[in-house]
Amino acid sequence: MKRNQLVLVLFFTAMAALMVAPVWAQYTTPTSPASGMPATTAQPQQPPAAPAPGSVALINVAEVFEGSMSFQSEMERLNIDIEDKGAEFELRIQALQAAVAELASMAPDARQVREIELAEEQAKIQIDQQAAQRDFRIQEAQIYYRTYIRIQTAINQYAVHYELGAVIRFNTQAQVDPDNPDQVLQEVNRQVLWYDVSRDITDAIQNMVNQGAPTPSPAPDRNVINPRGPLPLNR
């Protein structure tokens, strides 16, 4: 009798741990990627001279991710799948809890057999949860990678079209909270200290990504790198 009581204590202790939300319940809707601290936009007093071929352009990659319609659509579908899988596990856990509640009314021999079965079901749920979490992380990574390739393709086409010398990633933000140590440290260490707003090609790349990154026309305008203006496209 004492042995069965000990088994039940251990079993219910394990069950209490299992009743914690599914492993990916702590999963937060992936947000768009960002790196470093944003550079503060400086407004020139006079329109800058048109840059020559070989100029450096800037792009806010996080903003392009956020504005990518295909990225947002894929992430929305993934989040729905996560919620559906979470509901499925919740039903399995509830069924397991109900089965555990029935143990008290069972004969000792039958109860011992049932305890083993429920322990196996508990382990199966945990294994399935871990597998689902792994699968969702892979799917998320694939969505990010596909979107990044689309962005990179658009940047390559744009840079070749306008004969740019380089395209540098940067972030934009209106201001830094001086009471936030992390923001202050990132602000101090930021790489882009000042930039001409005409060098920001974020909007142009955003449009190309949402249009399927079409190929630019073969005749580049050597007087403009783009300053968020339209890029000639073959539709």
Q: 198: which residues sit within 8 A by CB, 6+ positions away?
A: 47, 48, 51, 225, 226, 227, 228
Helix, strand, or coil (residue 195): coil
User: Does the pTM exceed 0.85?
Assistant: no
Domain 2-210: top CATH class: alpha beta
Helix, strand, or coil (residue 161): helix
pLDDT single digits (tens) 89-111: 999 999 999 999 999 899 988 99
On whether the CB atoms of residues 225 and 167 are closer than 8 A, the answer is: no
Helix, strand, or coil (residue 169): strand
pLDDT single digits (tens) 9-64: 334 444 444 443 333 333 344 444 444 444 444 444 444 333 457 889 999 999 99
